[in-house]
Amino acid sequence: MTLPLEGRTAIVTGAGRGLGRAEALELARLGAAVVVNDYGQPGRDGSGEASAAPAEEVASEIRAAGGHAVAHLGDVADFETARGLVDLAVEEFGKLDILVNNAGILRDRMVFSMSEDEWDAVIRVHLKGHFNTTHFAAVHWRGRAKAGDSAVYGRIVNTSSEAFLAGSAGQPNYAAAKGGIVGLTTSTALALAKYGVTANAICPRARTRMTEDVFAGFAEPDAGELDPLSPEHVSPLVGYLASPAAARINGQLLVVHGGMVAVVDRPRVSAKFDTAKSTFTYEELDTLLTPHYATRPESETFAATEILGLKREV
């Protein structure tokens, strides 16, 4: 039986641990050759010495299972490192077909306490990191198309977060970066569709080193049960979006966790007001907007626990 991703080559960034590791293993299980990227720093804030060990361990695990994989040590937020990552995929496996952007760090703080460096570091790794790899992957696919390759196949799966959808009071840098990733995804989807490339984003919920504080206090699974927040609940969707079966899915945002996938609509207009004259005045806006917001129930403001659909232990 032919596997869905047989003959395809994938890059997964931040694949040494957590979500990225689960995604790399799933793509390999579906038949893809995988370039496993990770910078290997021990601190979830991007601190500590870089190490090739996490990426190499995952690549070795894929090879031991009969798959094809190489490890790549590097910071994808560095433009030239991202170029080298895409070049490595092409050199090792002949071409690139799938890009899964997952690498990220956290430097949480309230907006009134956040330093410039804490803001810049998170934006750099998440948003610039996603752009860098996307840029060089897009150059590769566009070049193949212009060279006459009528069978260009490209899939991009980006990692956003419900911190963008619902807000996250202690993560203004992270929420902004994840919102920017959605904008990057939809723009990329429009730009590359004519070349046979799709770009989609996921908002995964998973218990990893990055989210140990977020999910502290949430119910743990019973013995022998799979954690509803396990990364293994997320990786099948990534594998599907990377496959030929998802050819008609482009520019979409999906929330995924614990046996659930939710398709998120684009923002919709909930109310519309027209001026009675040629332009609005302060007084007219006051008579229209103030009553509108005064009558909206507080329940329309999402709480993080409501969106996550999880119950925190008391």
Which tokens belong to 278? 């040629």
Query: Is 293 an active-site residue?
Result: no
DSSP 141-153: HHHHHHTT-TT--
Of the residues 160, 161, 168, 235, only one is catalytic, namely: 161
* DSSP element (H, E) containing 204: strand 197-204
Report the phi/psi class of residue 300: left, alpha or beta, with left for phi > 0 and alpha for psi in -120 to 50: alpha
Q: Are 54 and 38 in contact (CB under 8 A)?
A: yes
Rounded to 5 degrees, what angle do the CA atoms 25, 30, 36 make? 35
Asked if 178 is an active-site residue, the reply is: yes
Q: Which is the catalytic residue, given 39, 128, 168, 178?
A: 178
Catalytic entry in 153, 174, 235, 243:
174
Q: Which two tokens stand for residue 138?
A: 């897009």
Cα–Cα distance measured from residue 261 to residue 190, given in angstroms and rounded to the nearest whole number: 23
DSSP state, residue 238: H
**161 classed as catalytic:** yes
> 148: how many CB neighbours lie within 10 A of its CB?
6
Cα–Cα distances in angstroms (integers) from residue 107 to residues 123, 144, 193, in the given order:
10, 39, 35
Sheet holding 253-257, edge to edge: 69-73, 33-38, 9-12, 98-101, 154-159, 197-204, 253-257, 260-264
Q: What CA–CA distances, in Å, run from 115 to 120, 129, 164?
A: 9, 20, 20
* Residues involved in catalysis: 161, 174, 178
